[in-house]
Structure 1
Amino acid sequence: MAVPSGSSFSGPGPKVLIVGSGIAGIGAAQRLYQHGCRNLQILEATGRCGGRIRTTRFAKGLVEIGAQWIHGPSKENPVFQLSSQYDLLDEKALSEENQQVEVGGHPTYPFTSYSSSGKTVDPELVNSITDLYGTILDQTRDFINKDFDYAASVGAYIKKDIAHHAQEWTGDEASKKLKMAILNTLLKLECCISGTHSMDLVGLSPFGEYKMLPGLDCMFPGGYESLIEHMLKSLPKDIVLLEKPVKTIHWKGCFRGQTPQEQTFPVQVECENGETFTADHVIVTVPLGYLKEHCNTFLHPPLPSNKIQAIRKMGFGTNNKIILEFEKPFWKPDCHLINLIWEDESPLVEVRPDLQKDWFKKLIGFIVLEPPEQYGHVLCGFLAGNESEFMETLTDAEVVTSLTEVLRRFTGNPNIPPPINILRTKWHSNVYTKGSYSYVAVGCSGEDIDTIAEPLPEGTAESKPLQVLFAGEATHRSFYSTTHGALLSGWREAERIICLQDAQGGKAHL
């Protein structure tokens, strides 16, 4: 999806520049425009809008390169509400029944679990171990208001509790080993959900601050990007300038405007091609991964040390997809999710994997994209962390060869033909994201998220100038890593500017 380039700012009110045209940036622009701000522009580094929301054609239909689901599609979710207003969801997603389902952020599809010895694993066993895991995971959310231990991790807590429960297991060693293998697969799934290499990297005390909304996760029949397209329709066509990567945001300055008649402005944004834009306010919506790489040079004067420290401490990991099209399905019609369980793995045994040899072992399995009339015979696999980043360096042929061998091994069917088409995401290699989404790492807290979100200059009151503001999923304390968190953060920063104008008597302009 492309938006044509256009002219720079025009209209009444303060000049507001937004860096990044993901859902946070577009949401901020939409909120400001609705309040009468016409002096508004978005600078986008790439040739498209949407950021980490990206839909593309594959096989018979559309697949998601970025965000896959609306997580918690219910009345409290602004992405769900906006999508409902635009009529982008099907009847099932909109039903009251679906909005009340509590899934805890985990997939609820009927599944088939295969083991590395080529056998189908008893669903009742998988269900019972999944219930045990869910109970342990729920306990990790109970540490919010307790004495903060910077060194405690979600992974360490889960493993300690698993070891405790394992002492009570009966049966032979083979059955105990299989239970451990199932738990290890569930921990890999948690890595994908949290966007981290290991749950040992995720802080225990702040983990419970993440808020899960009710609702059965749903997808967009017309692609997630249809939401971005509808949001942009409410804005002027020339509001987004594409292929304008920002090099440096100069603030605390006195910069002359584009014409001699213009006043001076406190902020100037310098693009990589040398082009400059002046503004009263700049809203930065770039991903945390990009900020981590450029936090020392992205702003001048540099970011305050406490903000740089918070950016460095926060976690930002990679969760990639491998999407495969097959000529015919080898899975049963009632199979919606394929779990892969490596029988020789245990969460209690630390293994340093050989990435070249074993990268695919981090793959949790595949969801079946349905219905086949819409998608074709398509599987979408997920893997996170170092293995996911290594996968990006391989060729399509290497990935196809490895995964064909894995599927043949796990199903016990040596005749499964290779997929006829493959599509992979490469979020770590993307220079403007450097990963997928954020998590609160060991050693930091929700307060660090608030520090990243704090506008500059620091200590700005309503009646004082706001120069640089920060939005994006990594700046929302309870909804980080989600599109609804990103959207809410964009609205939040737009409201800061609106409130400032009201306080300064500029209500007529906004």
Structure 2
Amino acid sequence: MERMFVVALLLLTTHAVLAIAAGPSVIIVGAGFSGISAAKTLSDAGIKDFLILEATDHIGGRIHKTNFAGINVEKGANWVEGVNGTEVNPIWVMANELKLRRFYSDYDNISSNTYNQEGGLYGSSEVGKAIEESESIHSDGEKLSARLPPSGRSDISILTMQRLKNHVPTSALDMVVDYYSYDYEFAEPPRVTSLQNTVPLPTFARFGESVYFVADQRGYESVVYHVAHQFLSTDKASGAINDPRLKLNKVVRHISQSSTGVTVTTEDGSVYKADYVMVSVSIGVLQTKLIKFEPDLPSWKILAVYQFDMAVYTKIFLKFPYTFWPEGTGTEFFLYASERRGYYPVWQQFEKQYPGANVLLVTVTDEESRRIEQQSDEETKAEAMEVLKKMFGPNIPDATDILVPRWWSDRFYKGTFSNWPIGVNRYEYDQIRAPVGRIYFTGEHTSEHYNGYVHGAYLAGIDSANIMIKCIKHGFCKVQIKDKDS
């Protein structure tokens, strides 16, 4: 009887150990670049019992290609930004390793390609003068920014800086130059964008001012797969990821924690348990009710989340039966100056990137993005065509196809990337990144210097994972947040 009891106890203990070993120690919510980067960092540290839950049918998040009129184009991130500087952008390294097709974006001739609202080109000298004045004010802003205390308490908006310099763009030309200088980069206007954290911009100050447009049929998402393939198993024949630790189409709706672990529940009713969870959803999603936290996140965390802006950057692609716009050196980018600020302002043609495709790209942001997302594609095409006819004449052909991404309307993103709010410094970034018990956070919005960028997402994943590793492996679980004024 005693021997039977010992055997039974041994079997029970063995089953318990196996049950614990079978469950992941870490659940990662989201397979965007930050989530994948965090998972790889954990894997490299020997923490391989994790599970990645992704709401969509693919990894990469806002780095995602789609087929449009026979070619693959990027719905979201499109550029490697910050190249040829003193430091090397890690995304540029990956792009080179993968031999992605990428093209230097040359904006130098924009003064010769700016169109009047009523039709025809502005004189290049007139546009050049407006650009020079804008750049001069920007340089003054850099000097002012350098004098502001690091706490961020004296931070001002870019627009406030412009007002201090008696330069508030009001004409159609000045507004489109202003839009091109700021909104086109940050997806929000100067009135809401921080001066202290964007002038100068760390990405360009550290990695270089060159930007390269990715136009590879494998997709910019190749960089995400490049990282994923280094730690997730793949099918040898197709190269597709078949690792059971990655689960697609799993919409996380509930995260609860206790002193002993976390429980994650998905929309389909599946329940997963682990020791820790890493949340890598966008700041836009954190600001919605998609995921319920139990107990509720503390007030300091909620305040930090809601201080950040989730901007909307919309790239609208238009396909035509033939080319009617200028081609050749110095014609890739052109502007449309409207009295309605941000109305179909920045255009790009793809003579080099997609030869023979006859495709144009127009970028809109912020309020115009939200407005356009709520109307039909046919209405948007009609508006874009009206603008193009003013620029190139009434006899141009109608677009045959249009692609309008709807990031703001998508409940899994609620926008495209975070923007620098006024008055935010490392203190707020430490708060938004800081764990709450067993719940950790990552994403491009947690990158103090590179939020909004692909390299910011990648580096943020590494950073947040290392914070978790210190806790799991070394017991250093309390994250120190420096005082606001330090």
For Structure 1 versus Structure 2, the TM-score category normalised by the shorter chain is: 0.7 to 0.9
The match for 1:172 is: none
Q: CA deviation at 1:300?
A: 1.3
Q: Among residues 162, 165, 173, which one is paired with 1:182 in the alignment?
A: 173
Instruction: Indicate if the aligned counterparts of 2:319 and 2:401 stay in contact, CA closer than 8 A.
Output: yes
CA separation of 1:107/1:332 partners in 2, compared to 1, >3 Å: closer, same or farther?
closer
Give the paired residue count: 434
Q: Secondary structure at the match of 1:201?
A: coil
CA distance in structure 2 between the partners assigned to 1:191 and 1:453 by the alignment: 26
CA separation of 1:373/1:317 partners in 2, compared to 1, >3 Å: closer, same or farther?
closer
Q: Give the letter aligned to residue 99 of structure 2.
A: D
CA distance in structure 2 between the partners assigned to 1:60 and 1:338 by the alignment: 24
List runs of 5+ in structure 2 lacking aligned partners: 1-18, 234-241, 477-486
Name whichever of 300-309 and 130-139 sits farther off.
130-139
Instruction: Indicate if the aligned counterparts of 2:114 and 2:122 stay in contact, CA closer than 8 A.
Output: yes
Q: CA deviation at 1:501?
A: 4.2
Q: Give the letter aligned to residue 467 of structure 2.
A: R
Question: Per-residue CA shift, 1:224-281, capped at 9, x if unaligned?
Answer: 1222232222212223101111112112343xxxxxxxxxxx1111112221111122
Q: CA deviation at 1:36?
A: 2.6
Q: Give the letter aligned to residue 157 of structure 1.
A: M
Instruction: Indicate if the aligned counterparts of 1:28 and 1:494 stay in contact, CA closer than 8 A.
Output: yes
Q: CA deviation at 1:497?
A: 3.0
Q: Give the letter aligned to residue 113 of structure 2.
A: T
Q: Secondary structure at the match of 2:250?
A: coil
Question: Per-residue CA shift, 1:423-477, capped at 9, x if unaligned?
Answer: 11111101111111111223544422221011123xxxxxxxxx21111111011
Q: CA deviation at 1:384?
A: 0.8
Name whichever of 45-54 and 150-159 sits farther off.
150-159
Q: Secondary structure at the match of 2:212?
A: coil
CA distance in structure 2 between the partners assigned to 1:284 and 1:56 by the alignment: 26
CA separation of 1:281/1:135 partners in 2, compared to 1, >3 Å: closer, same or farther?
farther
CA distance in structure 1 between the partners assigned to 2:356 and 2:166 by the alignment: 39
Question: Per-residue CA shift, 1:190-242, capped at 9, x if unaligned?
Answer: 2231122x221123333347412205211332321222232222212223101
CA separation of 1:446/1:126 partners in 2, compared to 1, >3 Å: closer, same or farther?
farther
CA distance in structure 2 between the partners assigned to 1:231 and 1:181 by the alignment: 44
User: Aligned residues: percent identity?
Assistant: 26
CA distance in structure 1 between the partners assigned to 2:108 and 2:36 by the alignment: 31
CA separation of 1:489/1:10 partners in 2, compared to 1, >3 Å: closer, same or farther?
farther
CA separation of 1:375/1:442 partners in 2, compared to 1, >3 Å: closer, same or farther?
farther
Name whichever of 307-316 and 145-154 sits farther off.
145-154
The match for 2:5 is: none
Q: Among residues 324, 333, 343, which one is paired with 1:330 in the alignment?
A: 324
CA distance in structure 1 between the partners assigned to 2:466 and 2:292 by the alignment: 24
CA separation of 1:10/1:218 partners in 2, compared to 1, >3 Å: closer, same or farther?
farther
Q: Among residues 263, 286, 294, which one is paired with 1:268 in the alignment?
A: 263
Residue 195 (structure 1) aligned with residue 190 (structure 2)? no
CA distance in structure 2 between the partners assigned to 1:497 and 1:112 by the alignment: 50
Q: Secondary structure at the match of 2:314?
A: strand
CA separation of 1:10/1:427 partners in 2, compared to 1, >3 Å: closer, same or farther?
farther
The equivalences for 1:109-508 within 5 A come to 112-141=113-142, 142-143=144-145, 146-147=148-149, 148-149=152-153, 152-163=156-167, 180-189=171-180, 190-196=182-188, 198-208=189-199, 210-211=201-202, 212=204, 213-220=207-214, 221=216, 222-234=218-230, 235-236=232-233, 237-238=242-243, 239-254=245-260, 266-294=261-289, 298-334=292-328, 335-342=331-338, 345=339, 362-371=343-352, 374=355, 376-411=357-392, 413-457=393-437, 467-503=438-474
Query: Normalised by the size of structure 1, how large is the TM-score?
Result: 0.78
Instruction: Indicate if the aligned counterparts of 2:389 and 2:396 stay in contact, CA closer than 8 A.
Output: yes
Instruction: Indicate if the aligned counterparts of 2:262 and 2:273 stay in contact, CA closer than 8 A.
Output: yes
CA separation of 1:11/1:136 partners in 2, compared to 1, >3 Å: closer, same or farther?
farther
Instruction: Indicate if the aligned counterparts of 1:20 and 1:43 stay in contact, CA closer than 8 A.
Output: yes
Q: CA deviation at 1:319?
A: 1.0
Question: Per-residue CA shift, 1:385-428, capped at 9, x if unaligned?
Answer: 111111011112111111111111123x1101111111111111
Instruction: Indicate if the aligned counterparts of 2:320 and 2:358 stay in contact, CA closer than 8 A.
Output: yes
CA separation of 1:80/1:446 partners in 2, compared to 1, >3 Å: closer, same or farther?
same
List runs of 5+ in structure 1 lacking aligned partners: 1-8, 94-102, 167-176, 255-265, 346-357, 458-466, 506-510
CA distance in structure 2 between the partners assigned to 1:13 and 1:498 by the alignment: 18
Q: Give the letter aligned to residue 418 of structure 2.
A: S
Instruction: Indicate if the aligned counterparts of 2:138 and 2:199 stay in contact, CA closer than 8 A.
Output: no
The match for 1:33 is: 43
Q: Give the letter aligned to residue 184 of structure 2.
A: C
The equivalences for 1:41-80 within 5 A come to 41-74=51-84, 75-80=87-92
Instruction: Supply the RMSD in Å over aligned alpha carbons.
Output: 2.8
Q: Secondary structure at the match of 2:76?
A: coil
CA separation of 1:108/1:140 partners in 2, compared to 1, >3 Å: closer, same or farther?
same
Q: Secondary structure at the match of 2:145?
A: coil
The match for 2:479 is: none
Q: Secondary structure at the match of 2:213?
A: coil
CA separation of 1:333/1:13 partners in 2, compared to 1, >3 Å: closer, same or farther?
same
Query: Normalised by the size of structure 2, how large is the TM-score?
Result: 0.82
CA distance in structure 1 between the partners assigned to 2:468 and 2:23 by the alignment: 11
Q: Secondary structure at the match of 1:469?
A: strand
CA separation of 1:387/1:127 partners in 2, compared to 1, >3 Å: closer, same or farther?
same
CA distance in structure 1 between the partners assigned to 2:40 and 2:82 by the alignment: 23
Q: CA deviation at 1:109?
A: 6.1
Q: CA deviation at 1:33?
A: 1.9
CA separation of 1:144/1:275 partners in 2, compared to 1, >3 Å: closer, same or farther?
farther
